[in-house]
Amino acid sequence: MNPQLKMYPNPMLFRFSFFSVFFLCSSAAVLSPVRHDRSTGLYSLSICTKTPCQDTNLLVDLGSSFNWIDCSHNYTSSTYRSIPCTSSLCNSLGSHGCSGDCSGNHLPGCSKNSCFLSLLNSGKRKGITKALALIDSLALPLTDGRNPGPLKNFPNFIFSCSATPFFRNRRPKGTAGLAGLSQSNFSLIGQLSKQFSLPRVFALCLSRSPSAPGVAFFGTFGPYYFHPLVELPKNLIYTPLFMTNPAAGGGETLHRVSDEYFIRITAIKVNNFVINVNGSGSDRAMLSTTIPYTTLHSAIYRPLIEAFLNESAALNLRLTQPVKPFSVCFEAVNVSVSRLGPLVPTIDFVMQNPDVFWRVHGSNSMVRILNRGVDVWCLAFVDGGNKSRSSAPIVIGGHQMVDHLLQFDLDSKRLGFSSSVLVHNTMCANFNFTVNHGIR
């Protein structure tokens, strides 16, 4: 074995060495393993926080403006600092005045002079939350696109901290907060870029494997290599990325937790049958890692189901009792499976012109359900009703992103996306997490 390479004792846990936090390196592109949680269908990434360094799992949220840490229990770190509520930094975070409450925040130094954020939660827990702002250390492994390297320390990282989690009932087990990946200056990518003058770009490659994580890259356009040395960015397709931060009726003193990304979808095709999306009132689609399955306005969902059933007729699939939240399920015994998943009609999200489309093969359009004698493949799209979510009639969820490389270029405002990487005989679970200590 190459003496520079060393396997973590357990790649899934991806344990970080505290002593490598202070390793000085000239490169600053970093990565994190991203794991799938079966019970929620959501994703978490691993970072190293506090001093001494502690492994911390955070819910991945493309639409969150801030990073959030649960401080409902004793928070211990020698590098923790509070932010004075009268400081210019506190003002830039959108906090006005000294109106915080330290009850429930078990942090040393929390006082009436500490900076608090007024966050408007757009998730299931509606309402305004007062969140303490804090500064602490964060570290992520350096990368050359092939392996992780030693940890790179980011010493002045800003978190919001609350005793009331925004996603208490939905976050993956073992997560201690949320990693915001929006275009906000205070999101994870915003702060990493600012501290080390990195490009404002990150890439996600989500895995559904129960034993092998996917990966997130920060501050690099690639190349990204996956076993057997497949370089994925060579085949990216690009579409404009719309980034908005809509007002939520609370005035300038409030910050939304959500700050989503949108792309334009002009039509949906099932095989060659075209479904018009104009009936929903908008051609914007939101990208969300906190929604497990793509959700469609009813005006789009109903014709999609009809077209999918019509195109499936020639495949001799046998419909069976649907399993919630899905409407169309087939007996698994009649469904043939290839390396691209179940052999069912393809679904294309057509973008700015007919030649730019995101193709959804069976591996991403279907989900297998095995439970108490039930063995079915279900169409993994959900009816969102007649009210659009976040001004978007289409919300592309995590299941449809799996094994696609998604590159978010915030400076150029474009999304790069690959076809299913299964086409290239690899998968997002194939990144080599063997540590190379020679990376600088």
pLDDT at 280: 65
More confident residue, 416 or 247: 416
Task: Quick: pLDDT tens for 372-429.
Answer: 889 999 999 999 998 755 568 999 999 999 999 999 999 999 999 999 999 999 999 9
35 pLDDT tier (thresholds 50, 70, 90): very high
pLDDT at 386: 86
Taking Cα atoms as reference points, which of 7, 13, 22, 18 lies closest to residue 152?
A: 22
More confident residue, 177 or 6: 177
CA 96 to chain centre: 30
Task: Quick: pLDDT tens for 110-144.
Answer: 888 899 887 655 444 455 667 889 999 999 999 99
pLDDT at 332: 96
Task: Quick: pLDDT tens for 253-265.
Answer: 344 445 789 999 9
Q: Where are the beta strands (DSSP E) in 344-412?
A: 347-350, 357-360, 366-371, 374-379, 381-383, 394-396, 405-409
247 pLDDT tier (thresholds 50, 70, 90): very low
pLDDT at 1: 45
167 pLDDT tier (thresholds 50, 70, 90): low
Could you tell me what percent of the chain has a pLDDT over 70?
83
17 pLDDT tier (thresholds 50, 70, 90): very low
What angle (nearest 5°) sits at the alpha carbon of residue 323, between those of residues 318 and 327? 70
pLDDT at 195: 87
433 pLDDT tier (thresholds 50, 70, 90): very high
Average pLDDT across the chain, whole number: 85
pLDDT at 440: 80
Q: What is the DSSP string of 298-320?
A: HHHHHHHHHHHHHHHGGGT--EE
- Could you give the CA distance from residue 225 to residue 212 in angstroms, rounded to a whole number? 16
74 pLDDT tier (thresholds 50, 70, 90): confident
pLDDT at 96: 66
pLDDT at 431: 97
Identify the three-state secondary structure at position 278: helix
Sheet containing 381-383: which strands, arranged edge to edge? 242-243, 261-264, 284-287, 394-396, 294-296, 381-383
pLDDT at 389: 52
Could you tell me what percent of the chain has a pLDDT over 90?
63
pLDDT at 95: 79
229 pLDDT tier (thresholds 50, 70, 90): confident
pTM beyond 0.75, yes or no:
yes
According to DSSP, the residues that pair with 337 across neighbouring strands are 342
Task: Quick: pLDDT tens for 283-295.
Answer: 889 999 999 999 9
